[in-house]
């Protein structure tokens, strides 16, 4: 799978959201990462389906919706109707994770599992063959602008090993503290979707920042994908 850049709208200027979206699209963004927070599962409150619907009306690229909420099953259909192309749910809040993934698939969108920094990779072992992507949180979820947790690199490798053992080539997505200083290492560990918020929207030039993030990764990835030597290093 080609590397994908997913700017996180959590860090965008909501007073000029349409312009921010157009800027990252001009910079070559592949997805728009939309963080949904309920003030319970994480200590922050963001947006609901009506805002996602408004984003969908402006965006030309797919919406990657990350549900950091309790009881996601209650709201998944509404977010799909609003325009989500991908939905990630947290294993930490779902005693019936298998059923939730089936629900997402039944609505014809991609289903992903998100793992908090303290959540072991084996928490998703029983559904490894079902997921369309795995979202590794490299900061504690809730607020943007946090520092990347270095141990996340080994966790990415562990997720890749688990997925490969299940015969699933689903991509690994990484969210939290991603910027030009660590992006190549994250890709080397096995990530194929990079979520970046402050390092894109906090620069004053989101289009250029999106391009620069991809250029840093492309210098490592090359035409044929990540080097096997560096992936294992």
pTM of the model: 0.92
CB 12 within 8 A of CB 194: no
Per the residue annotation, which of 30, 38, 175, 179 is the catalytic one? 175
Q: Which two tokens stand for residue 82?
A: 């609003």
**pLDDT tens digit at each of 233 positions of the chain:** 789 999 999 999 999 999 999 999 999 999 999 999 998 888 888 899 999 999 999 999 999 999 999 999 999 999 999 999 999 999 999 999 999 999 999 999 999 999 999 999 999 999 999 999 999 999 998 666 678 999 999 999 999 999 999 999 999 999 999 999 999 999 999 999 999 999 999 999 999 999 999 999 888 765 344 443 333 33
Q: Under CATH, which number does the domain 4-232 receive?
A: 3.20.20.70
Say whether 175 is catalytic. yes
Domain residue ranges in the chain: 4-232
Residue 35 bears catalytic tag: yes
Of the residues 30, 35, 38, 132, only one is catalytic, namely 35
- How far apart, in Å, are the Cα atoms of 149 and each of 20, 49, 114, 176, 216? 27, 30, 16, 8, 20
Both tokens of 85, joined, read 């192309």
Q: Is 190 left (phi over 0), alpha (psi -120 to 50) or beta?
A: left
């Amino acid at each position: 799978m080609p590397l994908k850049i997913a700017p996180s709208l959590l860090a965008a200027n909501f007073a000029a959201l349409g312009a921010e979206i157009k800027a990252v699209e001009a910079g070559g963004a592949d997805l728009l990462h939309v963080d949904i927070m309920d003030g319970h599962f994480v200590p922050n409150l963001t947006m609901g389906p009506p805002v996602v619907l408004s984003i969908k009306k402006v965006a030309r690229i797919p919406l990657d919706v990350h549900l950091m909420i309790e009881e996601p099953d209650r709201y998944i259909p509404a977010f799909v109707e609003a325009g989500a192309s991908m939905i990630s749910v947290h294993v930490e809040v779902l005693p019936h994770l298998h059923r939730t993934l089936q629900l997402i698939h039944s609505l014809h969108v991609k289903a992903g599992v998100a793992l908090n920094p303290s959540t072991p990779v084996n928490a998703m072992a029983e559904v490894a063959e079902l997921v369309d992507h795995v979202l590794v949180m490299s900061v504690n979820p809730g607020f943007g602008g946090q520092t990347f947790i270095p141990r996340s690199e080994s966790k990415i490798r562990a997720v890749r090993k688990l997925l490969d053992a299940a015969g699933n080539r689903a991509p690994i997505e990484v969210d939290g503290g991603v910027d030009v200083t660590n992006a190549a290492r994250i890709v080397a560990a096995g990530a194929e979707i990079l979520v970046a918020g402050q390092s894109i929207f906090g620069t004053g030039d989101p289009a250029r920042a999106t391009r620069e993030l991809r250029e840093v990764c492309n210098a490592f990835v090359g035409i044929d994908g990540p080097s096997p030597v560096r992936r294992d290093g």
